[in-house]
């Protein structure tokens, strides 16, 4: 018997070492029934090929299916789009906040109506939404800034009597500037 035949017989009798692989594939292969070819020394080529096909089928069954490249790229592209969208939204909110602050400085200083109208249009173009306080709604500290108080008979305490300056928020609802309001205070 040749050395090659002895080595083949010796290796066929030993259990194969599990190779490291993705998602525990090595454990699956090791747990699978013995899949080494057991062809007799006088086996025909067809028998050996059939045994090799069975070994290949067992290995393919034990290994996990690879993730298609398109699916992996789609997931990565979605994550990048989401991150870019969040960054753009944060940047836009910062710019919009500055424009709203400029408008807040211009309004009481007596800047003309055309300038305020242009600033309001810029805010709208950037996605900012103007809101006014509704008369007799209770003042909400999240969206209203109390700029003054006065007494009005018949109105409940703490309700909005007048809006001095509008408030602004983003399309997602983040408040950029609170509406300046006058509230009722009972004496």
124-142 pLDDT per residue, tens: 888 889 998 888 999 999 9
Rounded mean pLDDT of 161-182?
90
Higher pLDDT, 22 or 52: 52
Domain with CATH 2.30.22.10 in the chain: 71-184
- Which has the minimum average pLDDT: 23-37, 70-84, 129-143? 23-37
The per-residue pLDDT for 97 is 87
Pick the CATH number of 71-184 from 3.90.1150.10, 3.40.50.300, 2.30.22.10, 3.40.50.2300: 2.30.22.10
Of residues 136, 185, 181, 141, the one with CA closest to residue 159 = 136
Summary mean pLDDT of the chain: 79
DSSP symbol at 16 = P
The span from the CA of 128 to the CA of 124, in Å, is: 5
Rounded mean pLDDT of 69-78?
81
Count CB neighbours of 144 within 10 A.
Answer: 20
User: Residue 39: which pLDDT band, with cuts at 50, 70 and 90?
Assistant: low
């Amino acid at each position: 018997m040749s050395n090659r035949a002895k080595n083949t017989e010796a290796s066929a009798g030993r259990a194969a070492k599990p190779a490291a692989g993705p998602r525990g594939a090595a454990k699956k292969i090791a747990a699978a029934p013995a899949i080494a070819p057991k062809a007799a020394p006088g086996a025909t080529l067809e028998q050996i090929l059939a045994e090799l096909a069975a070994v290949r089928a067992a290995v393919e069954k034990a290994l996990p299916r690879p993730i298609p490249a398109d699916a992996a790229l789609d997931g990565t592209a979605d994550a990048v789009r989401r991150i870019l969208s969040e960054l753009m939204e944060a940047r836009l909110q910062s710019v919009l906040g500055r424009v709203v602050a400029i408008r807040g400085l211009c309004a009481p200083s007596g800047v003309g109506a055309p300038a305020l109208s242009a600033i309001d249009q810029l805010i709208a173009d950037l996605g900012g939404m103007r809101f006014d306080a509704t008369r007799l709604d209770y003042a909400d500290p999240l969206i209203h800034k109390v700029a003054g108080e006065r007494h009005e008979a018949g109105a409940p305490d703490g309700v909005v009597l007048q809006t001095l300056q509008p408030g602004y928020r983003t399309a997602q609802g983040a408040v950029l500037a609170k509406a300046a309001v006058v509230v009722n205070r009972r004496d």
